[in-house]
Amino acid sequence: MNIVQHIRRHIYKRHFNVHTNSNSTLKNKRHINRYVNHYFQLFVFVGYTLIPFATKADAPIKPKPHWFESFKQQASNTALYNFLYALPKGGDLHHHLGGSGFSHWWYTLATDEKTNGGYRYYTKVFIKQCHGYGNNEFGRNPQLLLFKTIQHSHYAALNDCEKSEYRDLVTLSDEQKSAWMNSIRLDKPFEGRAEFFEKHWSRLGDLNRNPIIMAELLVKNMQAFAKEGLRYIEAQTNAKGVVKSDGSQYSPDEVVDIFRQRLAQEDAIATGVTARLQYALLRFLPNAEQELEWIYRFVDKHRDIYVGINMVGREDNDKGYPLRFLSTLRKLRQRIPNIPLAIHAGEVDEPNFHVRDTLLLGANRIGHGVNLIDDPATMLLMRNERYLVEINLVSNLLLEYVDEYHQHPFPEYLRTGIPVALSTDDRGMWDSNMTDEYFVAVKEFNLSWQELTGLAENSLKHGFVDEQTKRALLANYHSRIKVFEQTFLDQGAKSFPQTPSRYGKFICRQYALCQPPKN
């Protein structure tokens, strides 16, 4: 019996005290039937009229979906990207200053002697086998590496054969210039980890050792990150082995002063971005322990600008395993007040205990942590809000630590309470930016508004900057995000303070976002 039949039968029974199959006369039955139908219609009408009131009063109110959920569902890729570009963000806690320079920035700086401190650069565009056969291609002077860039003092010391392999960067043909630009970014499908670790850095050569260019890069980063809504960066850059345009050495203290002076200039201050530095130890070198001792003392001396120490270099080179540095750090900690550590760990393919061992070294933050997912005991330990994993989604895909985003452990960390923040690593070499990281996170992992804003908040909370500045950065972020949310709800995309002027090659290749629409 369906519900309608049930109600009809109930009316018959209750009001006429008859059963539908009782022995009443035909006339009586028709009369009763008409009456019941009328009664039934009235019942249905009154019921339908009253139901909404009854629901409001008795049933729990279903919460409206958050506006960001509806926006995500409806927005095109372009609209979502513009939204994420304009979105206030916190900081970038993990990037290598040399790797964060876009090719066009490098070219502009390298060819402008007025800005770059009077340095002149040459790059290798021909191979003439000047060293004959059997050269050490794995040493400091590979013969077969094209687009290695050197400064004038080094060029002047070459023999005639070698000189003929190089061209002044200013005089490159269009084809050579384009190849030079591509030689320091992962632009081809077959380029990955080996190209990045073994070629890019060697090619940058002397450019990466010019402190004036590095300080310019820092300010260019601050300007670009400011447009994307960031207000804090910690850039990894070093101060040793840095050469003047005449080939003589800068002292590390002089290099720090160059950074300090550049950061004090008006255009740097105008960005509103607070910049601090980390010193990076190349962990697999034979003398890495002595180097760490020197770095620790150096950072201790320059705490106004250097706020932490990192350890870098490919982790599949076992000579840089984390516990190698435990006794050195223990010795240093006996004499020197604590220096925060953010250390690359778990940026490997195989499971191991590098993340656990790195926490044992005293690390406050873990760079990458891709294989932390294979170490459940350490995952449990990291759910206590003290240690943050710096997530680099673009880097991990391009360097083949994941083949597809569904393999990435980021959502598992995020949603099991391990503090995470997004960072850009070597975005110049990926041709990407922080918005790309956010875009990947939202597209691939369906972030909620709370998750999205939590990432930005973490990137400030876990910064190594002094507590007072950190509090101010967090307060500033909270007020910016509140205003952004309200003006977006009131005015939509018209309220965006900035839209991207270009899309990088990563987002173009991966999500077909290639040409920003003209405003």
Judged by the rule CB under 5 A, the positions of this chain that interact with Zn ion are 425
Q: How far is the CB of 380 from Zn ion (least distance, A)?
A: 25
Residue that the structure tokens 């250097």 belong to: 306
**Among the listed residues 499, 427, 516, the one whose alpha carbon sits nearest the alpha carbon of residue 87:** 499
Q: How far is the CB of 314 from Zn ion (least distance, A)?
A: 11
The nearer residue to Zn ion, 194 or 489, going by C-beta atoms, is 194
The nearer residue to Zn ion, 120 or 368, going by C-beta atoms, is 368
User: Can you tell me the distance from the alpha carbon of 412 to that of 389, in angstroms, rounded to the nearest whole number?
Assistant: 12
The nearer residue to Zn ion, 357 or 425, going by C-beta atoms, is 425
The nearer residue to Zn ion, 244 or 365, going by C-beta atoms, is 365
Token code pair at residue 293: 């001792």
Q: How far is the CB of 324 from Zn ion (least distance, A)?
A: 19
**Among the listed residues 351, 421, 417, 326, the one whose alpha carbon sits nearest the alpha carbon of residue 379:** 417
The nearer residue to Zn ion, 429 or 456, going by C-beta atoms, is 429
Q: How far is the CB of 442 from Zn ion (least distance, A)?
A: 23
Q: How far is the CB of 348 from Zn ion (least distance, A)?
A: 13
Q: How far is the CB of 202 from Zn ion (least distance, A)?
A: 17
Q: How far is the CB of 452 from Zn ion (least distance, A)?
A: 23
User: Can you tell me the distance from the alpha carbon of 429 to that of 196, in angstroms, rounded to the nearest whole number?
Assistant: 8
Sheet holding 166-168, edge to edge: 149-151, 121-124, 166-168
DSSP state of 187: -
The nearer residue to Zn ion, 234 or 425, going by C-beta atoms, is 425
Q: How far is the CB of 392 from Zn ion (least distance, A)?
A: 7
The nearer residue to Zn ion, 123 or 238, going by C-beta atoms, is 238
Contacts of 206 (CB under 8 A, 6+ apart): 119, 121, 149, 150, 151, 154, 243
**3-class SS at 71?**
helix
**Among the listed residues 218, 228, 237, the one whose alpha carbon sits nearest the alpha carbon of residue 275:** 218
User: Can you tell me the distance from the alpha carbon of 217 to that of 449, in angstroms, rounded to the nearest whole number?
Assistant: 32
**3-class SS at 388?**
strand
Q: How far is the CB of 310 from Zn ion (least distance, A)?
A: 8
* HSE, side-chain direction, 13 A CA sphere, residue 145: 23
The nearer residue to Zn ion, 425 or 437, going by C-beta atoms, is 425
Task: Read off the amino acid at residue 51.
Answer: I
For every residue of 231-265, DSSP letters joined together read: -EEEEE---SS-B-TTSPBPPHHHHHHHHHHHHTS
Which residue of this chain has its Cβ atom nearest to Zn ion in the complex? 425
The nearer residue to Zn ion, 95 or 302, going by C-beta atoms, is 95
User: Can you tell me the distance from the alpha carbon of 352 to that of 114, in angstroms, rounded to the nearest whole number?
Assistant: 49
User: Can you tell me the distance from the alpha carbon of 342 to that of 366, in angstroms, rounded to the nearest whole number?
Assistant: 6
